[in-house]
């Protein structure tokens, strides 16, 4: 039987001493090849001009494995760099979060020029948190029911952006006492206050805000309640649209300040304007900025400060009732209820950080509320 050579074998085997050239001491060369083979077998890789010559001596399987190890190692290194980058960004975000919370605690919204407002009806019953199938969405809060209907080709508003936009619309309407609001540069300034840098491109803030504004202004809201008094029942409600007319100019491919474009404006409907200027819910825009990445936390913050404005005694709100009001997208199943409860408790921790006076905690059957100062006191008219 003929003896196989190292290149013919599936694994590297150093040739017997007798096969080394007696006229040249090749021991050092085979020592290097031994190390290279051991490195590749251990999951590492070799590269460089000298190493490439070694790979020519090693069986082909080593060259293939070396290439795989190199690719895997490069991918692992890139993943490590990404993880380090995420960790650095996370630390920066945490530092900014703490700084914002300390600023909120040190100075009132009025003193900081950060007093904002939200429409009361959409504090009591909320919009979807994420994209929804279909074009109708309903929420309930006690006897109050709110249904949002949108054109099927447009879709329902969802997420943080329509909430931020509604806060801006309500705040501007209260400040200007006019149903006609001019966006332009004031929208860019408002985005900056909320920590949204105006950016273009497919995933920029401008096209996303434009899409959600389109959904919001084309939606139709019905708010109603039904009461029962013995054999008699009563149903009352009303239909609301946010805007009667609007003319919005956008440049989604550019992050140019929207104030340099054609003047954009929105004329709020009489009913919506009347509701938001009659008894709007006062908010701290700095808290909105801190919580802007979580639609549930935004809803819970606005609802909490509104609820505390009239709460007179300890109240425990059942988890099922809270899910009807806030639990957009969670199935009405045991697992869905557990998932919603976990998300709500997580959101409550975030809200309590910006609103430390809030006395709310997890109870046996629901969320326990104790009388607390409203985060932003209602101003006298």
Average pLDDT over residues 296-318: 92
Place of tokens 């008219």: 381
Q: Given a cut of 90, is residue 329 above it in pLDDT?
A: no
Report the residue count for the chain: 381
Query: Which carries the bigger pLDDT value, residue 362 or residue 64?
Result: 362
DSSP 193: H
- String of b and e for 29-63 (b: at least 16 CB within 10 Å)? ebebbeebbebbeeeebbeeeeeeebbebbbeebe
Residue 39 phi, psi (nearest 5) = -60, -45
Instruction: Quote the percentage of the chain above a pLDDT of 90.
Output: 24
pLDDT value at residue 249 = 73
- Range scoring the smallest mean pLDDT among 14-18, 171-175, 252-256: 252-256
Q: Give the span between the Cα atoms of 301 and 209, in whole angstroms.
A: 22
Q: Given a cut of 90, is residue 313 above it in pLDDT?
A: yes
Q: For the segment 255-302, what is each residue's pLDDT rounded down to a tens digit? A: 555 444 457 789 999 999 998 888 888 998 888 888 988 999 999 999
């Amino acid at each position: 039987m003929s003896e196989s050579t190292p290149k013919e074998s599936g694994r590297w085997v150093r040739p017997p001493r007798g096969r080394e050239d007696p006229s040249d001491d090749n021991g050092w060369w085979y020592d290097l090849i031994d190390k290279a083979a051991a490195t590749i077998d251990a999951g590492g890789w070799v590269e460089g001009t000298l190493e490439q010559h070694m790979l020519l001596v090693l069986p082909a399987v080593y060259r293939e494995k070396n290439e795989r190890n190199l690719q895997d190692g490069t991918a692992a290194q890139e993943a490590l760099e990404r993880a380090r980058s995420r960790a650095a960004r996370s630390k920066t975000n945490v530092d900014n979060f703490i700084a914002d919370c300390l600023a909120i605690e040190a100075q009132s919204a009025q003193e900081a020029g950060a007093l904002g407002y939200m429409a009361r009806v959409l504090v009591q019953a909320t919009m979807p948190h994420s994209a929804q199938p279909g074009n109708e969405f309903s929420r309930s809060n006690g006897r109050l029911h709110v249904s949002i209907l949108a054109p099927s080709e447009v879709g329902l508003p969802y997420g943080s952006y329509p909430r931020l936009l509604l806060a801006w619309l309500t705040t501007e309407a209260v400040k200007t006492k006019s149903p006609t609001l001019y966006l332009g540069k004031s929208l860019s300034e408002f985005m900056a206050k909320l920590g949204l840098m105006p950016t273009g491109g497919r995933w920029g803030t401008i096209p996303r805000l434009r899409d959600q504004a389109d959904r919001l202004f084309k939606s139709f809201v019905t708010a109603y309640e039904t009461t029962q008094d013995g054999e008699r029942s009563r149903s009352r409600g009303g239909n609301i649209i946010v805007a009667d007319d609007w003319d919005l100019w956008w440049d989604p491919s550019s992050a140019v300040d929207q104030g340099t474009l054609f003047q954009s404006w929105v004329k709020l409907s009489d009913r919506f304007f009347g509701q938001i200027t009659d008894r709007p819910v006062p908010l701290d825009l700095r808290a909105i900025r801190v919580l802007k990445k979580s639609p549930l936390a935004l809803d819970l913050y606005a609802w909490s400060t509104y609820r505390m404005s009239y709460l007179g005694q300890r109240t425990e709100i059942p988890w099922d009732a809270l899910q009807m009001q806030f639990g957009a997208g969670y199935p009405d199943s045991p697992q869905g209820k557990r998932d919603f409860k976990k998300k709500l408790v997580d959101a409550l921790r975030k809200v309590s950080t910006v609103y430390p006076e809030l006395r709310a905690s997890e109870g046996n059957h629901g969320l326990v509320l104790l009388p607390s100062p409203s985060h932003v006191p209602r101003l006298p008219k």
